[in-house]
């Protein structure tokens, strides 16, 4: 059973790998647009990777207004 902390940890690790940034640079409350230097399409790309990893499907609008890893983790956690 995944806890929210596990989910969050895995998201941070996946984001670090996907965007080639050191894992230790990412924290749960980071604004991922700013920390990763990405635009909303790249964020959607990340979401696709996360869906594959967690075996869930999220509509695009679930990401609307989400800017930090913690909230993103809670959206994914809700569907696990």
Partner 1 sequence: MLDLDQYASLGAALRDALDRWPNETCLIESDRNKEKTRLTYSDFKELALPLARSLEDADLKPDDRVAIIMTNQSKWLISAYAILHGGGVLVPLDYKLTAAEHLQLLAHCKARVLIVEYHLWRAITQSPEFKNHKLQTVLVTEAPPSGDLAGAFRWENFRRKGDPTFVPRQREDVACIVYSSGTAGRPKGCVLTHENYLEQCKSLTAWYPFWPGVRYLSILPTNHAIDFMVGFIGPFVCGACVVHLRTLRPEFVRDAFVRYKITYVSLVPMVLKNLERGLKAKFDALPAPKRFLLNRLISVNKAFTRLHPNLRLSRTLLPQVHRAFGGQLLTIIVGGAFMEPSTLQFFYDLGIPVANGYGLTEACTALTVNDLKPFRPDTVGKPLPGVQLRVLNPDADGIGEVAVQSKTVMAQYLDDPELTAETIVDGWLLTGDLGRFDGNGHLQLFGRKKNMIITEGGKNIYPEDIEAIFDSLPVKEFSVFAANYVWPAKNLGGEKLILVLRLEQGQEFTETLKEEINARNRRLPDFKRVSGYLIWDRDFPRTASMKIKRTVLAEEIGKRTDRAAVVEL
Shortest distance in whole angstroms from residue 61 CB to partner 1: 6
Shortest distance in whole angstroms from residue 1 CB to partner 1: 27
Binding-site ranges for partner 1 (CB under 8 A): 31, 33, 39-42, 44-45, 47-48, 59-61, 64-65, 67-68
User: Cβ neighbours of residue 37 under 8 Å, at least 6 residues apart?
Assistant: none
Shortest distance in whole angstroms from residue 78 CB to partner 1: 14
C-alpha 59/C-alpha 36 separation (Å) is 22
Q: Which helix (H) or strand (E) holds 9?
A: helix 4-18
């Amino acid at each position: 059973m995944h806890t929210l902390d596990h989910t969050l940890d895995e998201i941070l690790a996946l984001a670090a790998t996907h965007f080639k940034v050191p894992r230790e640079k990412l924290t749960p409350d980071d604004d991922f647009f700013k920390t990763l230097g990405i635009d909303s399409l790249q964020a959607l790309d990340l979401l696709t990777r996360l869906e594959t990893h967690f075996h869930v499907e999220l509509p695009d609008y679930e990401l609307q207004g989400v800017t930090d890893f913690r909230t993103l983790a809670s959206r994914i956690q809700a569907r696990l």
